[in-house]
């Protein structure tokens, strides 16, 4: 029986008894509508209409210059995976731990890792299947191409960067990263000086006192610092004008942590403070540790 041939000019195929001797030993004598090259494994080599018959590289071989070579000899062949990458393409292994990139006709490998908001998964892609006519009949063969690579990191549904985050790639991981002075997972970012108990961000130098006045939190250089805090013996922990802290008691003055006696210096101070009953009171004139006097409040001025 003669050799099969395909004449592109005539658009017919048939059998000829004439031997086809112009193919080299590592080429087959049949027509393939989609041959590929090492340099561009994703696109088919378009046949020359002026050549009615042509040679086809055997299976698992690719065109390199004027020769057919095993695909594993292509510069950007990913060993162990059976794929050839085009310049600039990359391949991610089955566990999403390594990324192989074709650069200057060689494979560059780097570590790869999915973010916490992504999944290493295999998902269906659209593949163009090439019809190949051989001496055994017609086969359907998927092209060797990086577009068929099954594994990559896919974002989970509803994954969106916070307004205070930026989508970027760092150390081989693409995800949302919180902006400077913010922290979080990129989906939720809070300011470094955000106090959850207060529900707001402290301004630079501003402090927050907790509910029992035992802790003071301060924003210093966009960082929260904490320190122990306690009221003095003559102070009370309370909130005034939306500010909670230690406040010195009546007749004392200070910051609440340290309070010093400021009065009453005489009966008039007591009267002005609303005392209206005649009786004995303790007063603290300047330089005195205090002594008891009788104040006649009914006189109208405490004298």
Q: What pLDDT shows up at residue 255? A: 93
Residue 249 shares a structural domain with residue 133: no
Q: Of 155, 190, 210, which residue sits at a domain end?
A: 155
Instruction: For 239-270, write each residue's pLDDT tens digit.
Output: 999 889 999 998 899 999 999 998 888 888 88
CA-atom Rg of the chain in angstroms: 43
Q: What pLDDT shows up at residue 125? A: 42
What gap in Å lies between CA 275 and CA 252, rounded to an integer?
17
Q: What pLDDT shows up at residue 15? A: 43
User: How many Cα neighbours within 13 Å face the side chain of 302?
Assistant: 17
The 3-state DSSP class for residue 44 equals coil
Residue 150 shares a structural domain with residue 238: no
In the structure, what pLDDT confidence band is assigned to residue 298 with cuts at 50, 70 and 90?
confident
Instruction: Name the β-bridge partners of 223.
Output: 220
In this structure, how many other beta carbons lie within 10 angstroms of the beta carbon of residue 125? 9
Q: What pLDDT shows up at residue 210? A: 92
Q: What pLDDT shows up at residue 139? A: 36
Asked whether residue 170 is assigned to any structural domain, the reply reads no
Q: Of 99, 120, 155, which residue sits at a domain end?
A: 155
Q: Does the pLDDT of residue 58 top 50, yes or no?
A: yes
Q: Does the pLDDT of residue 32 top 50, yes or no?
A: no
Q: Of 130, 155, 180, which residue sits at a domain end?
A: 155
Give me the chain's average pLDDT, please: 75
Asked whether residue 175 is assigned to any structural domain, the reply reads no
Residue 267 shares a structural domain with residue 256: no
Residue 238 shares a structural domain with residue 281: no
Residue 151 shares a structural domain with residue 7: yes
Domain of 247 in residue numbering reads as 200-260
Residue 269 shares a structural domain with residue 230: no
Residue 222 shares a structural domain with residue 120: no
Asked whether residue 180 is assigned to any structural domain, the reply reads no
Instruction: For 69-122, write each residue's pLDDT tens digit.
Output: 888 888 888 887 778 888 888 888 877 778 888 888 888 888 877 776 677 776
Higher pLDDT, 190 or 81: 190
* Residue 246 · residue 236 · CB < 8 Å: yes
Residue 149 shares a structural domain with residue 205: no
Residue 138 shares a structural domain with residue 13: yes
Residue 147 shares a structural domain with residue 10: yes
Q: What pLDDT shows up at residue 302? A: 56
Asked whether residue 288 is assigned to any structural domain, the reply reads yes
Residue 44 shares a structural domain with residue 121: yes
Asked whether residue 43 is assigned to any structural domain, the reply reads yes
Asked whether residue 208 is assigned to any structural domain, the reply reads yes
Q: What pLDDT shows up at residue 123? A: 58
Torsion, Cα 148 86 27 139, to 10 degrees, reads 20
**What percentage of the chain carries pLDDT values higher than 90?**
18
What gap in Å lies between CA 68 and CA 56, rounded to an integer?
9
In the structure, what pLDDT confidence band is assigned to residue 35 with cuts at 50, 70 and 90?
confident
Domain count, the chain: 3
Q: What pLDDT shows up at residue 143? A: 40
Residue 147 shares a structural domain with residue 225: no
Asked whether residue 162 is assigned to any structural domain, the reply reads no
Asked whether residue 22 is assigned to any structural domain, the reply reads yes
């Amino acid at each position: 029986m003669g050799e099969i041939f395909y004449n592109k000019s005539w658009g017919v195929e048939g059998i000829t008894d004439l031997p086809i001797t112009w193919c080299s030993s590592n080429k087959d004598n049949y027509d393939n509508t989609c041959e590929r090259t090492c340099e561009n494994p994703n696109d088919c080599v378009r046949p020359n209409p002026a050549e009615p018959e042509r040679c086809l590289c055997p299976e698992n071989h690719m065109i390199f210059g004027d020769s057919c070579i095993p695909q594993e000899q292509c510069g950007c062949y990913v060993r162990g995976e059976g794929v050839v990458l085009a310049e600039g393409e990359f391949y991610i292994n089955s566990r999403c731990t390594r990324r192989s990139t074709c650069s200057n006709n060689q494979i560059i490998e780097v570590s790869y890792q999915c973010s916490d908001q992504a999944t290493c998964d295999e998902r269906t892609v659209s593949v163009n299947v090439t019809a190949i006519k051989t001496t055994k009949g017609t086969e359907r063969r998927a092209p060797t191409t990086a577009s068929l690579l099954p594994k990559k990191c896919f974002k989970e549904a509803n994954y969106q960067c916070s307004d205070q985050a930026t989508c970027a790639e760092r150390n081989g991981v693409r995800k949302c990263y919180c902006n400077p002075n913010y922290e979080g997972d990129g989906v939720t970012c809070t300011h470094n000086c955000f106090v959850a108990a207060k529900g707001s961000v402290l301004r630079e130098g501003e402090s927050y006192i907790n509910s029992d006045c035992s802790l003071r939190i301060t924003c210093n250089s966009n960082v929260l610092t904490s320190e122990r805090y306690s009221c003095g013996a003559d102070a009370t922990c309370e909130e005034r004008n939306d500010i909670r802290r230690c406040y010195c008691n009546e007749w004392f003055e200070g910051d609440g942590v340290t309070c010093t006696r400021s009065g009453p210096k005489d009966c008039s101070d007591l009267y002005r403070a609303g005392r209206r009953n005649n009786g004995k009171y303790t007063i603290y004139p300047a330089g005195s540790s205090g002594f008891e006097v009788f104040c006649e409040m009914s006189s109208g001025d405490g004298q």
